[in-house]
Amino acid sequence: MAAREDIAEVAAPRVGGLTFPAWQRLLTVGVLIVGLAIPLFVRNFTVFQLTLVMIYAIAILGLNLLTGINGQFSLGHSAFYAIGAYTTAILMDRFGVPYALTLPVAGVICLIAGFLFGLPALRLEGLYLALATFALAVATPQLLKLSLFERWTGGVQGIVIVKPDPPFGLPLSQDQWLYYFTLAVLVVMFAAAARLISSRTGRALKAIRDNPLAAKAMGIDTALYKSLAFGVSALYTGVAGALGAIVIQFVAPDSFTFFLAVSFLVGMVVGGVGSIPGALIGGAFIMFVPNLAEQVSKGLAWAVYGVILILVIYVMPTGAAGFVRLVAGRVARVVSSNR
Amino acid sequence: MELFLHQLLAGIATGGIYACMALAVVMIYQSIDHFNFAQGEMAMFSTYIAWQLLAWGWPYWGAFAATVALSFIGGVVIERTLFKPIRNAPVLSHIVVFIAMFSILNSVAGFTWEYTIKSFPSPFPSEPLFGNRLISAHDLGMIGITVVLLVLLYVLFRHTRLGLAMRAAAANPESARLVGIRVGWMVALGWGLAAAIGAIAGMMIAPIVFLEPNMMLGILLYGLAGAVVGGLTSPVGAVIGGFAVGIVENLAGTFIPVIGKELKLTIALVLIVAVLMIKPSGLFGRTAVSRV
Amino acid sequence: MSAHLAVRGLRAYYGQTRALHGLDLDLAEGGITALLGANGAGKTTVLRAICGMIRSEGEILLDGKAIGGIAVEDVVRLGVAHVPEGRGTFVRLTVEENLGLGAMIRRDRAEVARDIERVYAHFPLLKERRRQQAGTLSGGEQQMLAVGRALMLRPRVMLLDEPSFGLAPRMVAEVFEILKAVNRSDRVSVLLVEQNATLALAFADRAYLIETGRIVMSGSTAEIGADENVRRAYLGY
Ligand SMILES: Nc1ncnc2c1ncn2[C@@H]1O[C@H](COP(=O)(O)OP(=O)(O)OP(=O)(O)O)[C@@H](O)[C@H]1O
Ligand SMILES: [Mg+2]
């Protein structure tokens, strides 16, 4: 886990006259332009799917802030996703709050929920933490079904919400509008995550990940930071859940099972633990690969999915981000040694 | 009082299932140092193999022995083919491969044997033992088998060179290599043993919960709860933990009105978390330095 | 005297980075050879490379037979015992189990039992704590345990990575006495990495000096100890 330094930070080899960070920026702008253009050229259903990819990416990024940056595991992020989704659904359905305003509320509620869950979780490490969060994931759908809360949650039936129309009479379909709306949220949240990681707080979080004892000795309040990491992580995933509710127009307990938490974990590992852009790749993976597997074989879809997953891990044991870094490092070395 | 006693015994009976599974969980934990999510599915798959053998007309104990042997080999093969190549990959990547195994086994079982519920025979007599109606002969037999397994494992780990080598390989692979232990094979052996124990657990559990591809999901969870409550480093603790979870689950489900059936699972989980809060290494588990 | 262990052009790697850059070394049969050098010079790396713990290139000959590229556990089976940096204690196992593990590859049970008693005779402290979890031993006690564990192999070659680390001066003298005795009685060849150069030079008969992954000087301990630069840099006078 030690060799996670960005190659770009260690040395700045130039490839094609540009440094690694410059390439990254160029690539970011390129991806953004493509992202802006895509919905104008593809079917509404594809737009809808791509919106979901972005939503998953935000959720995975949330998990990544916890695991990749702070070194804590969670198999329970489906719970925060659910809390975000239900917050939005209840606010829209029962209280008539406009959808955009529900996002910050969902975020704050999840921040608090995550922070509170993070406090007791402080005592747990590694596998034990994974188990405690696993418990959270399994308990969530059951709690949502509880008749006690049925007045708000709609019990097993869940809540159906109305799909928002584009504002200001924009000439867009509902799906296209939600795509752009999600894209905007994603850009803000990804940028914020990048800022967070390179800030003082981010360094403290990484120090805790790499050596908790030393971090403590350096005067970092590990308890506070670890709970905070849980809170922020939950905030991201909660906002993703809120967006998910709006886009899918429906929430129900069984959409937020342990399976969802596992998907986030898979997405994170496939994209690359600790990588921000990797979250997008992870989001795309958990969105499209199950469908792909189903096309290969209907009856054995999940077996095919498992095989694909194993192959991906074999080819890229440290995820897509690690793979890209490895290849980029090789290229840089070859280029610089040819000079 | 009658009701209490009845629920207590019922708890012990289901606790036996969890204890069996908890034992398998602890086994694999001891030999690979993390938790195998696909453990339940491996047990389920083994049980289907037994079912298939029985369907082909094998006698019960023949099918039982063959299944245990096949599962052992299967466990070893899985480790050698799937996990050996990614030995140096990060732990999270291993967990993803567990997840992949989970979906492969579940899907293949469903595809081969269909998702309909099948009944699975018990090797024990069906009439109640000694005329008591509180606990069935199968429950007693299952508990007996769990205890026998536990004793065998205890002897293996505490009193044989192989067991010592396996513990050393799991605890400190690098040092283990330096004394000449073939760590890779020890890990594979751990997988084999865990698969074999899982197979036995599956065949003991299936007569009670019936055989279907998803039969193990909840049970693995309870078994895990038991293992964690007891302490992941202690096979005895795991078995006691398994029984404890079974008893608490039944009593709480009966006597605390708001809980009822739906929330039984949540209760088990709250229990895990509560125990972890108070004793982060479980009731019988030991932290790195404390003499047992 | 022929070389028991010979190393030719050894290069060793951590991932992509090379830590040793072509290094020659001879270990005389039944001799004691010291490997000296500053922190980070590559001493530990040499020992690791010899017993196959890390990737290396070049030739490693044990009794004239190439053992480069052989897995650690097989090198150990050829009679090479390694007391690693950081002691390598099995913390959750008992002291006696730790010692037993040292003899894991041996079949002669009666002899093993006798050897355990021999180690206890060397280190009575360990005997007192035989049923105790090894992780609860003090640092110095764990160092004794590491040496004891290596002796349990009945090795032909011993690779010792700072065996004096964490030991009280009196204990250091004792450990070195024991090692010397074993070296004489069993004709074990010893390769000793040591920070304390004075001690190492007094104990060994040959020495190598290593700097950033290269041997910069070698010779008898008398020659090395007399060298002006060595005196200034390593002996402090
Ligand atoms: N596991 C590792 N991964 C990467 N580099 C390493 C590793 N271990 C050692 N190195 C590097 O190899 C070089 C030699 O290290 P080595 O441990 O052999 O030094 P040493 O001579 O034993 O030092 P000391 O006296 O401090 O023990 C150092 O530059 C070190 O940074
Ligand atoms: Mg060293």
What is the structure's pLDDT at A15?
61
Distance (Å, rounded) from C-alpha C134 to C-alpha C91?
5
Q: Kindly report, residue by residue over A196-255, the tens digit of the pLDDT.
A: 888 888 887 788 888 877 877 777 777 788 888 899 999 999 999 999 998 888 888 888
In terms of residue numbers, what domain contains C226?
3-90+154-235
Contact residues for B40 (Cβ-Cβ < 8 A; gap 6+): B21, B198, B216, B217, B219, B220, B223
**Residue C104 within any structural domain of the chain:** no
Substitution target in C48, C53, C73, C112 with the highest count of B β-carbons within 10 Å is C73
Q: What is the arithmetic mean of pLDDT over B162-187? A: 90
| CB spacing of B106 vs A1 below 8 angstroms | no
Higher pLDDT, A334 or C206: C206
CATH assignment at residue C55: 3.40.50.300
| CB spacing of B280 vs A123 below 8 angstroms | yes
Distance (Å, rounded) from C-alpha A123 to C-alpha C56?
42
Mean pLDDT for all residues in chain C: 89
Residue B280 touches partner A, C-beta closer than 8 Å: yes
Q: What is the arithmetic mean of pLDDT over A321-326? A: 82
Q: Which residues of B touch A136 (CB under 8 A)?
A: 269
What is the structure's pLDDT at B80?
92
| CB spacing of A309 vs B100 below 8 angstroms | yes
What is the structure's pLDDT at C69?
83
* CA atoms B268, B272, B273, B277: torsion sign: positive
Q: Which residues of A touch B40 (CB under 8 A)?
A: none
Distance (Å, rounded) from C-alpha C104 to C-alpha B55?
45
Substitution target in B158, B160, B175, B187 with the highest count of C β-carbons within 10 Å is B175
Residue B138 has pLDDT above 90, yes or no: no
With pLDDT > 90 as the criterion, what percentage of chain B qualifies? 24
| CB spacing of B171 vs C97 below 8 angstroms | no
Residue whose CA is at the smallest distance from ligand 1 atom 29: C40
Residue B171 has pLDDT above 90, yes or no: no
Q: Which residues of B touch C153 (CB under 8 A)?
A: 179-180
Residue C33 has pLDDT above 80, yes or no: yes
Residue B9 has pLDDT above 90, yes or no: no
With pLDDT > 70 as the criterion, what percentage of chain B qualifies? 89
Q: Select the residue of A124, A268, A314 nearest B86 (Cβ to Cβ).
A: A314
Residue A301 has pLDDT above 60, yes or no: yes
Q: What is the arithmetic mean of pLDDT over A88-109? A: 88
The structure's pTM equals 0.84
C16 C-alpha vs ligand 1 centroid, how far in Å? 14
Q: What is the arithmetic mean of pLDDT over A57-80? A: 89
With pLDDT > 90 as the criterion, what percentage of chain A qualifies? 21
Q: What is the arithmetic mean of pLDDT over C63-92? A: 89
- Give the confidence band of A338 by pLDDT, cuts at 50, 70, 90: low
Residue B292 touches partner C, C-beta closer than 8 Å: yes
**Residue C56 within any structural domain of the chain:** yes
Residue B276 touches partner C, C-beta closer than 8 Å: no
Residue B217 touches partner A, C-beta closer than 8 Å: no
- Give the confidence band of B129 by pLDDT, cuts at 50, 70, 90: low
Residue A8 has pLDDT above 50, yes or no: no
Q: Kindly report, residue by residue over C87-139, the tens digit of the pLDDT.
A: 888 988 899 999 999 999 888 889 999 999 999 999 999 999 989 999 888 88
| CB spacing of B179 vs C133 below 8 angstroms | no
Residue C6 has pLDDT above 80, yes or no: yes
What is the structure's pLDDT at A162?
77
- Give the confidence band of C186 by pLDDT, cuts at 50, 70, 90: confident
Using CB atoms, list chains with 3+ pairs below 8 Å to chain A. B
Residue A168 touches partner B, C-beta closer than 8 Å: no
Q: Which residues of B touch C72 (CB under 8 A)?
A: 177-178
Distance from the Cα of residue C204 to its chain's centroid: 12
Q: Kindly report, residue by residue over B265-291, the tens digit of the pLDDT.
A: 677 677 777 777 777 777 776 554 332
* CA atoms A305, A310, A311, A316: torsion sign: positive
What is the structure's pLDDT at A33?
82
H/E/C letters for each residue in A229-290?
Answer: HHHHHHHHHHHHHHHHHHHHCEECHHHCCHHHHHHHHHHHHHHCCCCHHHHHHHHHHHHHHH
Residue A1 has pLDDT above 60, yes or no: no
Higher pLDDT, B2 or A116: A116
Residue B107 touches partner A, C-beta closer than 8 Å: yes
| CB spacing of B178 vs C92 below 8 angstroms | no
Distance (Å, rounded) from C-alpha B271 to C-alpha B252?
11
Residue A24 has pLDDT above 90, yes or no: no
List, as ranges, residues 248-277 from B with C-beta within 8 Å of A: 258, 262-263, 265-266, 269-270, 272-273, 276-277
Distance (Å, rounded) from C-alpha A143 to C-alpha A155?
9
C-alpha atoms less than 13 angstroms from C-alpha of A37 in its C-beta half-sphere: 6
Total domains present in chain C? 1
Cα–Cα separations (whole angstroms), residue A198 to A64, B16, B151 = 15, 51, 54
Higher pLDDT, A170 or A189: A189
Q: How many residues does chain A have?
A: 339
Q: Kindly report, residue by residue over B247-267, the tens digit of the pLDDT.
A: 887 887 777 666 556 666 677
Chain B residue with the nearest C-alpha to that of C158? B178
Q: Kindly report, residue by residue over B54-102, the tens digit of the pLDDT.
A: 999 999 999 999 999 999 999 999 999 988 888 878 888 888 898 899 9
What is the structure's pLDDT at A7?
38
What is the structure's pLDDT at A5?
39
Contact status, residue C75 vs residue C115, Cβ threshold 8 Å: no
* Nearest ligand to residue C42 Cα: 1
What is the structure's pLDDT at C129?
92
Measured from the CB, is residue C40 less than 6 Å from ligand 1?
Answer: yes
Higher pLDDT, C85 or A12: C85
Residue B159 touches partner C, C-beta closer than 8 Å: no
Q: What is the arithmetic mean of pLDDT over A74-78? A: 88
| CB spacing of B96 vs A302 below 8 angstroms | no
What is the structure's pLDDT at B49?
95
What is the structure's pLDDT at C2?
67
> Strand, coil or helix: what is A100?
helix
| CB spacing of C90 vs B177 below 8 angstroms | no
Domain parsing of chain A, residue ranges? 44-263
Chain B residue with the nearest C-alpha to that of C87? B175
Measured from the CB, is residue C84 less than 6 Å from ligand 1?
Answer: no
What is the structure's pLDDT at A307?
92
